[in-house]
Amino acid sequence: MAGPNPRARQRGGNQNTFAYPLTIRGQLGSTPSDHAQRSVGGLWYNDNAVDISVSENTGVKAVADGTIGSVSIRGRTPDSTTNSGSTVFLTTEGDEWAYMHLNDVSVSQGDQVTKGQLIGESGIANNSAHLHLGRKNGNPMDV
């Protein structure tokens, strides 16, 4: 079993660590600064996300204990470029996480999950197999 995460953040004097969001280590494809300003439907917003390149159907894990806020199940188009795949929103203590481009989802809205629990499998978007992991509150996740 791995030791403490050296990149753990401090909150209120307690050390909180996040689980790595995949069952295998992937290559960081983009960082929050790459996603800093993104346009969706003509509206600009800060993405606060990373893309982690992994093989399609890699296990995706909860980064912390929490509650599944919502799940959006979508199919993939034949060219894999026009759909973000399925999305899972996980609410943890003080944060909301968005897991995007999933091929498979193994949780439902309202489910309680534990850190490291499998919640789905990675998929493909923009002709690239990867997990798009966004964090709504706080600083971007350091992976």
Examine the pLDDT at 138 and tell me if it is beyond 70.
no
Give the pLDDT confidence score for residue 51 in this predicted structure.
87
Spatial neighbors of 58 by CB under 8 A, at least 6 apart, are 22, 23, 24, 26, 121, 122, 129, 131
Name the residue with higher pLDDT: 43 or 113: 113
Segment 84-116, tens digit of pLDDT:
689 999 999 888 898 999 999 999 999 999 999
pTM of the predicted model over 0.85: no
Q: Rounded distance, CA 94 to CA 65, Å? A: 11
Give the pLDDT confidence score for residue 136 in this predicted structure.
76
